[in-house]
Amino acid sequence: MVIKSEFPLELELPWVEKYRPTKLDDIVGNKDTIESLKRISQDGNLPHLIISGLPGIGKTTSVLCLAKELLGEQFNNAVLELNASDDRGIEIVRNKIKQFAQKKVILPSGIHKIIILDEADSITPGAQQALRRTMEIYSNTTRFIFACNLSNKLIEPLQSRCAILRYNKLQDDEILKKLLEIINLEKIEYTNDGLEALIFTSEGDMRQAINNLQSTFYGFKLLNSKNVYKIVDSPHPIIINNMLLKCYNGEFNNSLIILDKLWLKGYSAIDIVTTSFKVLKTMYNINEVERLEIIRIVGFTHMRILEGVSTKLQLCCMLSKIAKITRS
C-alpha cells in the first residue's frame, strides 16, 4: 500500500537545504574569510584547513561550495564527508578515511581529493593522533578540511599542519537579507515584529532563523512575533523587559507576579534567565553602570542554573538582587 504525503515533496524539504548556497558568492557574512576561500578556488592551491566558529554560520556550507568549485563534475568521486553522526574513533581513520585517501581519482594537475570532517572537535584524541600520519602519507593526493566549533579541541600537531580560518557570528542585517529572500520566494505573509523576533531568537545562527521561519509558516501561515515565540517556546522579550523594568523601578512584588505567570506557563529557569540576558543587552533606557551590574547578577544566576540549581527560588533571588541595586 502506498501512503500519499499530505504535502508536496518540495514543501517537505527543509528550507535550510532548499536554500543552501551552492556557490561561494551566495554565502552570507564573513566576507574576509569567504574571499580567502575564493582565492583558493581560483588558484587551486588548497592547504589542509581548520574552519572554526559558532553553529549555523556557514562553515560546512562554505566548505562544500569550495569543494564543488574546485572539483566540478568529480565532486561525488573526490569528496568524503563525515559528520557528527558517524563513528569518530580510531577505526574510522584506519579504515574509511585511509581507504578513501588511497583511492585513485583522475583529477586536473594541482587538484586534490578532499576529506571533510564536520564537527571535528568530537573526534577522539586517539583518532586525531592517527590522522597525523595519514595526512603526511597522502598529502600529495588528499587534503583534509576540519569544521569545528572550537579549534582548540584539536590536538596541536593537527593545528600546526593546517591553515586556520575563523568565522564570526552573522550580523542582524545579513540574516534579515536572507530571510526576506526566502519570504519573497515562498510568498509568506509577515509583519516587521515577526522578522525582529526571528532575528532576536536566532542570535546570529542562520540555520536557526530559517528553521524557525519554516516552522512558523507551517504552523500559523502568518509570521508575527506572537507566532514566532510560540514556535521557539521562549518567553516573549517584552514580558521579560517589563519584569526587569518593574524590578529596577522598585516594583518588586509586581515583577514577582510576572515571574509567577511565566513559571505557571511552563517556562523553565534556563528559558527565563537566558531571555533576560538577551533583553538586558538592549535595555539602554536604564543607567549604564547599573545595567552592567544587573547583567553580572543575571550571569551568576545563569551559572548556578547550569550547575543544576534550576529552581524558581534562583529567579526570585535574581530579582531581589536587582531590586536591591536601586535601593542602595
What does the alpha-carbon distance between residue 327 and residue 241 come to, in Å, rounded to a whole number? 20
Q: What is the pLDDT of residue 297?
A: 92
Rounded to an integer, the average pLDDT of 110-121 is: 86
Domains of the chain: 30-166 (3.40.50.300), 237-327 (1.20.272.10)
CA dist 325 and 248 (Å) reads 8
pLDDT of residue 9: 43
Contact 82, 117 (CB under 8 A): yes
**Per the structure block, which three cell numbers stand in for 125?**
584524541
Q: In this predicted structure, what is the pLDDT of residue 3?
A: 45
- Percent of the chain at pLDDT above 70? 94
Q: For residue 155, how many C-alpha atoms fall within 13 Å in the half-sphere facing its CB?
A: 12
Q: Which residue has the higher pLDDT, 287 or 326?
A: 287
Q: What confidence score (pLDDT) does residue 85 get?
A: 59
Average of per-residue pLDDT across 223-250: 88
Q: Is the pLDDT assigned to residue 64 strictly greater than 80?
A: yes
Do 51 and 95 touch, CB atoms closer than 8 A? Answer: no
Q: What is the pLDDT of residue 140?
A: 85
Q: Return mean pLDDT, the chain.
A: 85
With vertex at residue 184, the alpha carbon angle to CA 182 and CA 188, rounded to the nearest 5 degrees, is: 90
**With bands split at pLDDT 50, 70 and 90, how would you rate the model's confidence at 95?**
confident
pLDDT, tens digit (0-9, with 9 covering 90-100), for 26-47 = 888 888 888 988 888 888 888 8
Looking at residue 88, its pLDDT comes to 66
* C-beta separation of 52 from 167 below 8 A: yes
pLDDT > 60? residue 87: yes
- pLDDT per residue over 3-34, tens digit each? 444 444 444 688 988 888 888 888 888 888 88
pLDDT at 300: 92
**pLDDT bucket at 232, cuts 50 / 70 / 90:** confident
- Burial-class residue 16 by CB neighbours within 10 Å (0-12, 13-18, 19+): middle
pLDDT tens-place string over residues 144-197: 999 888 888 888 988 888 888 898 888 888 999 999 999 999 999 999 999 998
Residue 86 confidence (pLDDT)? 64
Helices and strands per DSSP (H, E), number in the chain: 18, 7
Distance between CA atoms of 34 and 272, rounded to whole angstroms? Answer: 36
At 176 the pLDDT is 92
Q: What is the pLDDT of residue 8?
A: 47
